Amino acid sequence: MHVKTGSRSMKLIAAGICLTVVYLCLLICYNSLSYYSLTVNHPFIVEKAEIGKQFPWRLVLYIHIASGIVILLSSFTQFSRKIRSFYPQIHKYSGSVYFFAILYVLVPTGIFLSFSAKGGIWGSLGFMVQGVYTFAATWIAYQSLNEKNIEKHISWIIRSYAMILTAVTFRVLHIAFRYTPMDYITNYNLSIWGSTAINLICGEILIYLIQTKIKQK
């Protein structure tokens, strides 16, 4: 009886976390649409000063944001057991979109934009580390799928998605740190590196729990 109650509680907690993540992802997607006014008056572009006035740079930014939205939306179907079981073609198609958008659009544009990131060298380096790790994790996940190594694929796609979700964790930390005495740049850099560390750890914990559950079957 206690085991069933505990299992039910864990499922409710997991569902609550998933719903929160989905909500925050959708909120980010919605807020990102403000960039497409196609003017230089957006606060993020204004603070970039001269480089923000250059259309090629803004075009890369628009492409980067668009790919991020596509990735966040397409990823929802990747972790749904029901979709994988009953609608495998949807899982396969959205997975292809996810891989392509990360490897050929999000990471290349992200690396380019990281050179003009706020926070100086630490801000740029933080985004570069995220980009390189995301690319590597996604590529390994893709290769392991081709090798029919599903267990390895699951582990690396979790690591990949953990890095994608730094977009969420970064914003949560950035807002939370505003209530501390630290200055803006310190807040910004700590949010970048903190979101990377937190998501990496959470990803590894999830992988461990999944592998443990598989071994117990």
Kindly write down the DSSP assignment for every residue of 102-154, as one continuous string.
Answer: IIIIIHHHHHHHHTT-TTHHHHHHHHHHHHHHHHHHHHHHHHHHHTT-HHHHH
pTM for this prediction: 0.85
pLDDT band at 2 (very low <50, low <70, confident <90, very high): very low
pLDDT digits (tens, 9 = 90+) for 162-171: 999 999 999 9
> Do you know the residue count of the chain?
217
CA-to-CA dists, residue 208 to 109, 111, 169, 205, angstroms = 32, 30, 21, 5
pLDDT(138) > 50:
yes
Which structural domain range is residue 104 located in? 2-216
Report CA-CA distances (Å) from 34 to 46, 66, 73, 82, 90: 14, 12, 17, 34, 29
Q: End-to-end CA distance of the chain, in Å? A: 20
Number of domains in the chain: 1
